[in-house]
Amino acid sequence: MRLSKFFMPTLKETPSEAQIASHRLMLRAGMIRQSSAGIYSWLPLGHRVLKKIEQIVREEQNATGALEVLMPTIQPADLWRESGRYDDYGKEMLRIRDRHGRDMLYGPTNEEQITDIFRAAVKSYKDLPRNLYHIQWKFRDEVRPRFGIMRGREFLMKDAYSFDIDLAAGKRSYNKMFVAYLRTFERMGLRPIPLRADTGPIGGNLSHEFVILAETGESEVFCHRDLLELSIRDVEIDYDDDLEPIVERYTSYYAASDDQHDAANCPVPADELVTARGIEVGHIFHFGTKYSKPMGAVVANREGQEVAVEMGSYGIGVSRLVGAIIEACHDDDGIIWPAEVAPFKVGLINLRVGDAGCDAASASFYEKLQAGGVEVLYDDREERGGAKFASMDLIGLPWQVIIGPRGVKAGVVELKNRGTGEREELSPDAALARLAG
Ligand code: 5CA
């Protein structure tokens, strides 16, 4: 992509309404634009990141055997009357009336809708287990939307719903999601911490929140320091195996949010306890028959008796993750994208647009990167070098390639790693080889 043809309305000034780094940087990098309180448009740069995150989430859900669907954003109130949540949900639910006077709502979550789909189609234990998920916009009329897309009113969520014949099978489905969440967040360059959590309006009695540590996190987190060392990045996972040992390994360490932590009775010695702030990027729930019973989602078990199915729901804040990743990965100059979610891998800077040598070397480098399938943003604008460096640092692409008159004469380009700041001069071919793959 040539920057001269891109739409990336960067801001030089720090927007005064933004209180935290991710919000400031997303506005300054031209990733989003506020439409109204807690509601945002995603501009091309932000949209690319959102889609990358969505795709990682999708691949890791699919790996577990979960099946993607797409349910509507607008739901009929009658479904929520069946579960009893229409009145319970309160002011966070955006209620709408259509032209026929029917009560509708903009979905804050989809337990009722998926239960309705399931009950119409599945009648036997033979069709279980099933896990259906979608990645769809949600609306919650938060009292205080803040921190940009981190606590929005409209936000993109991945929500999965599992259906099982009994509690033991339900726990297996829960464990699959638990492990998939660890993998999903690690792929994005994050270190997720599972915390035993309250279930709130979703219900049930088994629940974990997944948080990542960042100074601006909304809640305080207390955990054993060794939990931060765990990783399943290189562990081969077979989702048909018993995943309980992995879940136990993670849950055996102390980890609590501020509402559950009791300093006086904390089992971890002070020098092994990490106290930090965390951002909730995912939340999983097993809630048994809370929806299946009132809504009549029953199947015949092996003995031919009708039983209400055991259910769980599993959310990931896809749009929140964009902000959360920035909170975890930035410096004074801007964003530092982890490679997997970066909007482009390489930022190519032509330091002297109009100079025949620089133009030719840059165009050739650009074409070769593109031919090799490397995503590149080519700054071909007639701008000062300083401004180009600043905006490349701001948007945080993992690699910068700088082509200027001196290098062109010497037959070299400069390669800069945005994360480490390391710079190196090498031949264009050596740089291309480094950036390939
Ligand atoms: N039905 C369940 C699981 S599918 C559910 O709704 N869970 S939740 O309420 O915990 O939301 C799931 C995830 O969505 C949260 O972990 C968080 O990452 C994200 N999320 C929730 N509210 C917001 C919000 N206002 N803005 C941005 N992301 C949000």
How many angstroms separate the alpha carbon of residue 148 from the centre of ligand 1?
15
Ligand 1 close to Cβ of residue 141 (< 6 A)? no
Instruction: Give the three-class secondary structure for 84.
Output: coil
Choose which residue among 320, 322, 325, 327 to substitute to test ligand 1 binding: the one with the highest number of ligand atoms within 8 A of its C-beta: 320
Q: What is the mean pLDDT of residues 152-181?
A: 97
DSSP letters, 396-436, are T-SEEEEE-HHHHHHT-EEEEETTT--EEEE-HHHHHHHH-
Confidence of residue 139 (pLDDT cuts 50, 70, 90): very high
* Residue whose CA lies nearest to ligand 1 atom number 7: 315
pLDDT of residue 205: 73
Average pLDDT, the chain: 96
Using pLDDT thresholds of 50, 70 and 90, give the confidence band for residue 320. Answer: very high
Question: What's the Cα-to-Cα distance from 268 to each of 86, 264, 288, 329, rounded to whole Å?
Answer: 42, 11, 32, 29
Kindly report, residue by residue over 365-410, the tens digit of the pLDDT. 999 999 999 999 999 999 999 999 999 999 999 999 999 999 999 9
**pLDDT value of residue 260:** 87
**166 pLDDT exceeds 80?**
yes
Q: Is the CB of 320 under 6 A from ligand 1?
A: yes
DSSP string, 226-273: GGGG---TT----TTS--HHHHHHHHTS-EEETTT--GGG-SS-GGGE
Q: What is the DSSP letter of 155?
A: E
Ligand 1 centroid – CA 18 distance (Å):
22
pLDDT at 200: 72
For ligand 1, whether the C-beta of 159 sits within 6 Å is: yes
Residues in the chain: 437
Instruction: Decide whether any atom of ligand 1 lies within 6 Å of the 151 Cβ.
Output: yes
437 or 196, which is more confident? 196
Mutate to test the pocket of ligand 1, among 157, 326, 327 (most ligand atoms within 8 A of CB): 157
Q: What is the DSSP letter of 43?
A: P
| Ligand 1 atom closest to 150 (CA) | 27
Q: What is the pLDDT of residue 203?
A: 66
Instruction: Give the model's pLDDT for residue 202.
Output: 66
Reported as a pLDDT band with limits 50, 70 and 90, residue 15 is confident
- d(CA 277, CA 212) in angstroms, rounded, equals 8
Question: Is 344:1 a contact under the CB 8 Å cutoff?
Answer: yes
In this predicted structure, the answer to whether residue 185 has a pLDDT above a threshold of 90 is yes
> What Rg value do the Cα atoms of the chain yield, rounded?
24
Question: What's the burial of 413, exposed, middle or buried (CB within 10 Å: 0-12/13-18/19+)?
Answer: buried
Query: What's the Cα-to-Cα distance from 295 to each of 31, 116, 212, 266, rounded to whole Å?
Result: 42, 8, 35, 41
| Beta-sheet pairing, 94-97 with 130-139 | unpaired
